[in-house]
Amino acid sequence: MLTGKTWPAALEAIQKECEVKVWEDSSPIPRSLLMEWLQEAEGLFSTGDVQVNEELLAAAPNLRVVAQSSVGYDNIDIEACTRRGIPFGNTPGVLVEATADLTFALLLSSARRIHEGWEFVKSGSWKNGVNISLGVDLFGKTLGIVGMGDIGCAVARRARACGLKLIYHNRSQRADDQLLEAQYVSFDVLLEQADFIIVLVPLSNNSRGMFGRKEFAKMKSSAYFINASRGPIVDTEALYESLRTNQIAYAALDVTDPEPISGDHPLLSLSNILITPHVGSATYETRNRMANLAANNLLAGLRGEKLPACVNPSVQVK
Ligand code: DGY
C-alpha cells in the first residue's frame, strides 16, 4: 500500500507485481485507515509524514518491507523494523545533485538578496533608484559545512567554483578532505570562523536542537545560516531571536520546525530570512529517480530479495 501518490512509472512497476491501494488525497492518510489497510498489506510505500513506529508495525502482521521515497528517515523507527525482521529502503544517491543545487541556490539567493529584488520589481517600486539591502560577496569568504556527506561534498564542489574557502565539521574527519580542499575543524571553530554556515546533517537524537542560543551566539554577526537538512536540528525560537536582534545577519531555510510553517509564524515577519517549502529534491528528474528507487526497494523486499538501498541490511533475506 502507498500512503500517498507517486510517479506513474513507479506506480506502474508496483502494479505489475502487486495489488495496490493508494491514498490519493493530498491531506495525510488518517491513522485509523492506515492501520486498517495495514492489516493485510505486505509492503508499505510510505511518505515522510507517516510515523512508522512500534504501534503501526504491530497493526501490520503481514508486512515484509517498508520503502520510502526520501533519503531521510527520521519518521521511521528503524530499530522497531529491525526487531520485526522488516527491511527499510530509502533513496540515497539519486537526489544528491538536486539537493546540492537547491542548497547552493539558497546561499546565492540570500547573499545577493534575489527575492528582495524580485519583490521590489514586482511591487512596481523600481522607479528612481533601487532601494533594497546590498548583498555580500561570496568570493574569498569562508563557508562552513556541518555534515560533509554526499550532499555536503556536492555543495563543496559548487562553493569552490565560486572562490569560497571551505571548512567543515562531521562526526569524523573525511579521508578525502584534501581532494575536497576542505579543512576539518571543530564545531566551535566552524561556528566562530564561517561567514556562511550550511547544515546538512541527518536528524537524530544527537542532532536534534544542535543549533540553539549558545551556537548562534558563537557565530559572526555577519553570518548567514542555511539549513537544508531537517527543521528540528534548529531551535526555531533561538533562531528567531538571533535574527530579530541581528546577532546573525540572515537565515535561509528549506526545512522548518514546525513543518509546514504557518503564514503567521513570527519567523515570517522578519526581513532577514528566506524560506522555501522543503523542496531540496523537487525536480522532475530527481523525484522520478527517487520514486523508481523506492519502488525497486519495495518490490525487492516483496520478492524476498536484497533491497537496492537498505538502511537495516542485517534483516535482509535469510
Ligand atoms: C529527503 O529525501 O530526505 C528529502 O529531504 C525529502 O524528504
User: pLDDT tens digits, residue range 161-212?
Assistant: 999 999 999 999 999 999 999 999 999 999 999 999 999 999 999 999 999 9
- Mean pLDDT score of the chain: 97
Which residue of the set 113, 169, 230, 287 is catalytic?
230
Query: Rounded CA gap, 203 and 281, in Å?
Result: 17
CA of 72 to the centre of ligand 1 (A): 5
Q: Which residue has the cell 533561538?
A: 238
Q: Which CATH number fits domain 8-94+283-315: 3.90.180.10, 1.10.3720.10, 3.40.50.720, 2.40.50.140?
A: 3.40.50.720
183 CA → ligand 1 middle, Å? 27
Q: Which of the listed residues 71, 99, 203, 279 should we mutate to test ligand 1's pocket, taking the one with most ligand atoms within 8 A of CB?
A: 71
- The rounded Å distance from CA 318 to ligand 1 centre is 30
Q: Of residues 259, 265, 303, 305, which has the active-site annotation?
A: 259
Q: What average pLDDT does this structure show over 122-136?
A: 94
Identify the pLDDT of residue 73. Answer: 96
Distance 206 CA to ligand 1 centre (A): 19
Cell 559545512 belongs to residue: 145
Q: What's the gap in Å between 87 CA and the centre of ligand 1?
A: 19
The whole-number average pLDDT for the span 260-276 is 97
Give me the CATH topology for the region 96-275. Answer: Rossmann fold (3.40.50)
Q: Is 149 in the pocket of ligand 1 (CB under 6 A)?
A: no
Is 71 touching ligand 1 by the criterion CB < 6 Å? yes
Question: Does residue 92 have a pLDDT over 60?
Answer: yes
d(CA 307, CA 314): 11
Residues 164 and 144 sit within 8 Å (Cβ to Cβ) = no
**CA 229/CA 248 separation, integer angstroms:** 20
* Predicted local distance difference test score (pLDDT) of residue 317: 60
pLDDT at position 267:
98
Whether 96-275 and 8-94+283-315 are alike in CATH topology: the answer is yes
Q: Quick one: pLDDT at residue 316? A: 66
Could you confirm whether 174 is annotated as catalytic?
Answer: no
Take residue 237 and report the three cell numbers written for it: 525560537
Q: Using H for helix, E for strand and C for coil, what is the string for the chain?
A: CECCCCCHHHHHHHHHHCCCCECCCCCCCCHHHHHHHHCCCCEEEECCCCCECHHHHHCCCCCCEEEECCCCCCCECHHHHHHCCCCEECCCCCCHHHHHHHHHHHHHHHHCCHHHHHHHHHCCCCECECCCCCCCCCCCCEEEEECCCHHHHHHHHHHHHCCCEEEEECCCCCCCHHHHCEEECCHHHHHHHCCEEEECCCCCCCCCCCECHHHHHHCCCCCEEEECCCHHHECHHHHHHHHHCCCCCEEEECCCCCCCCCCCCHHHHCCCEEECCCCCCCCHHHHHHHHHHHHHHHHHHHHCCCCCCECCHHHCCC
How many whole angstroms separate alpha carbon 280 and alpha carbon 200?
11
197 Cα distance to chain centroid: 16
Q: Is 170 in the pocket of ligand 1 (CB under 6 A)?
A: no
Set 158, 169, 278, 287: catalytic member: 278
The tally of CA atoms less than 13 A away on the side-chain side of residue 6 is 32
Residue nearest to atom 2 of ligand 1 (CA): 70
For residue 48, what pLDDT is reported? 83
The yes-or-no answer on residue 259 being catalytic is yes
- What is the reported pLDDT for 313? 96
Cell 535469510 belongs to residue: 318
Residue spans per domain, the chain:
8-94+283-315, 96-275
Q: Is the CB of 48 under 6 A from ligand 1?
A: yes
Q: Is 230 a catalytic residue?
A: yes
Q: How far is the CA of 122 from the centre of ligand 1 (A)?
A: 32
Q: Is the pLDDT of residue 318 over 60?
A: no
Q: Which atom in ligand 1 lies closest to the alpha carbon of residue 90?
A: 2
| Mean per-residue pLDDT, 95-103 | 98
